[in-house]
A and B are shown apart, each in its own frame.
Chain A
Amino acid sequence: MSDATDAAGTAGESSTTGARAASDARAPGAVARLDATGLPLLAARAVLGVTFVVLGARKIGDPVQFLKLIREYALVPDDLPWLLNGMAVALPWLEVWAGALLLLGVFVRGAGATMLLLLGVFTTAILLRALDIHAAGGQAFCDIAFDCGCGSGVEEVCGKLRENAGLLLLTAVPLLSRSRRFCLARR
């Protein structure tokens, strides 16, 4: 009884493994082959890296303006000025740093995760602020426009949220890609 059951189990496992292997050889294999070319990662690195470097550099150029803008989100209590000031001087450099690392292809996953974190926090803050404005003024949501402190000036909130959603999705590429082609660091 026991031997028969084991035999049946082994046959079942063998059958499952065979099916999985066949499946792996189709869809995931195509993605893996595309990934292996390094081109999806290269494109994602270029878009994310240039975006972060350019927008971060603009903020570095005017730390006072960035300080005023991030204060409007009321993310930090007023009695913690060192935290607000620290965010104003450090976040833009973190953006530029993460963007530069991604462009160079060094610490690709770490830079991608950093971008995911920054984009997640910024996008949530923008959404909450827009909802506040919408609730206070009764303005149509997509008509709301403000300078979000993103380095791109006054923008319509729906466009900004769409842009950030796209960038968020794009961070999946450096996080998940196994390719290191066109990267300075191969590990």
Chain B
Amino acid sequence: MPRLLVETGLVLVTGLALGLASNALSSDGLELGRDYFPKGAATARPVSDPVAEPVPEPVPEPGSESAAEPVSDSAAGDPTPPDASPAPPPATDGLTGAAPPDVGSPPDDAVDPAVVERLAAKGLRAATFSEVRALHEDPMYAYEAYVFIDARDDDHYADGHIPGARQFDHFHPERHQEALLQVLPTAMEIIVYCNGGDCEDSESAALFLMGMGADPQRLRVYAGGITEWRARGMPVERGARNSGDLEESTP
């Protein structure tokens, strides 16, 4: 019996050590001390806390040169300096909280009250399909006045994301953080989504973005996610952001 215990102990200790060492060496490894499933209360600042809210960067003059060209791709290390960000649209919706451009809401365009409640408990707000679609079809979307963030992993993102959406996998924030820091301060609206349904990645990513300084009043979670987007017949973009490889969805 003692020999069995010693053998078992050896197998357990060496196996666990192997796992921890492999994790430390892997580029896909997890940070052991990090909470990947924040609850919001401790991580996110309350929406109504005016002291904690970040100050938006100065808005360039409308019609300035920087507002004339759509923003280039989102690869990390994007050389675009923060002060060269495009001009956001006139402060009519995102900043004031007024409704975004309305393209006609389908009758069933509503977020499940349970989801709204869950988001609210984390200090987050929900966006409906029609709101997301309106922002996506707004001409200022091309200038990243409205930033869409896909919170899923590389494979899912490449398989099809909302056209123009940036990726932010909060399990590997270092891969996307730098590029996002250049567009978040000037974004009028930030929409975060994942698969929809029970998917929590968008919520965790939104809380992480708030920790990075994203304004909670401009940040919303598209609860329906890519599943609803596709189900409503909206196109998705395959591969990298702005790849131009669009795929029509069949409702």
Interface residues of A (CB under 8 A from B): 60, 63-64, 67, 71, 78, 81-82, 85-86, 88-98, 101, 107, 109-111, 113-114, 117, 175
A110 to B8, CA, bound (A): 4
The answer to whether A93 and B16 touch (CB under 8 A), given A63-B23, A81-B36, A101-B11, is: yes
| Distance to closest chain B CB from A101 (angstroms) | 6
In the complex, what residue of chain B is closest to A97 when comparing beta carbons?
B15
Classify the secondary structure of B's interface with A.
helix
The answer to whether A113 and B8 touch (CB under 8 A), given A93-B18, A94-B19, is: yes
Chain B CB within 10 A, most for which of A96, A98, A101, A110:
A110
| Distance to closest chain B CB from A81 (angstroms) | 4
Q: Is the CB of A94 within 8 A of B12?
A: yes
Q: Is the CB of B19 within 8 A of A90?
A: yes
| Distance to closest chain A CB from B40 (angstroms) | 12
B117 at the interface (CB under 8 A from A): no
B157 at the interface (CB under 8 A from A): no
| Distance to closest chain B CB from A166 (angstroms) | 22
| Distance to closest chain A CB from B175 (angstroms) | 13
| Distance to closest chain A CB from B70 (angstroms) | 32
Interface residues of B (CB under 8 A from A): 3-4, 6-12, 14-16, 18-20, 22-23, 26, 28-37, 39, 153, 171
Q: Is the CB of B19 within 8 A of A109?
A: no
The answer to whether A89 and B37 touch (CB under 8 A), given A97-B15, A107-B10, A109-B7, is: no
A35 to B15, CA, bound (A): 28
What residues of chain A lie closer than 8 Å to B36, measured between beta carbons? 67, 81, 85
15 CB-based A-B contacts, threshold 8 Å: A60-B22, A63-B28, A85-B30, A86-B20, A86-B32, A88-B30, A89-B19, A90-B19, A93-B19, A94-B15, A94-B16, A96-B15, A107-B7, A110-B4, A114-B15
What residues of chain B lie closer than 8 Å to A89, measured between beta carbons? 19-20, 22-23, 29-30, 32
A110 to B13, CA, bound (A): 11
18 more A-B contacts (CB under 8 A) besides A94-B15, A94-B18? A63-B23, A64-B153, A64-B171, A71-B37, A81-B36, A82-B32, A85-B33, A85-B34, A89-B19, A91-B19, A93-B15, A96-B15, A97-B14, A110-B7, A110-B8, A110-B9, A111-B11, A113-B7
In the complex, what residue of chain A is closest to B18 when comparing beta carbons?
A93
What residues of chain B lie closer than 8 Å to A60, measured between beta carbons? 22
What residues of chain A lie closer than 8 Å to B9, measured between beta carbons? 110
In the complex, what residue of chain A is closest to B28 when comparing beta carbons?
A63
